Amino acid sequence: DNQTDVVVANYGTNNVCILFGCSNGTFTNQTYHPLGYNSRPNWITFQDINGDGWKDIAVPLTGLDDIQILLNLC
């Protein structure tokens, strides 16, 4: 949608927070995506993982030695 979004990895609360950009320059209310107990996300990367033309979010879960993929959210 060519709008700037804000995505934050919350290490202490084990979730990702997303604020979607609006066309008027504001952001939506924050949306939380829980990642699991003790997941400890500490960084985020963006890539079109499934090849549909939309950016996806990849979140390494350092506490679980895993990666969470959030498709089509950016």
pLDDT in tens, 6-60: 999 999 999 999 999 999 999 999 999 999 999 999 999 999 999 999 899 999 9
Question: What is the C-alpha separation between 73 and 8, in angstroms, rounded?
Answer: 13
Quickly count: other Cβ atoms within 10 Å of residue 33's Cβ: 16
61 to 1, 20, 54, 70: CA distances (angstroms) = 28, 23, 22, 13
Task: Tell me if the pTM is above 0.75.
Answer: yes
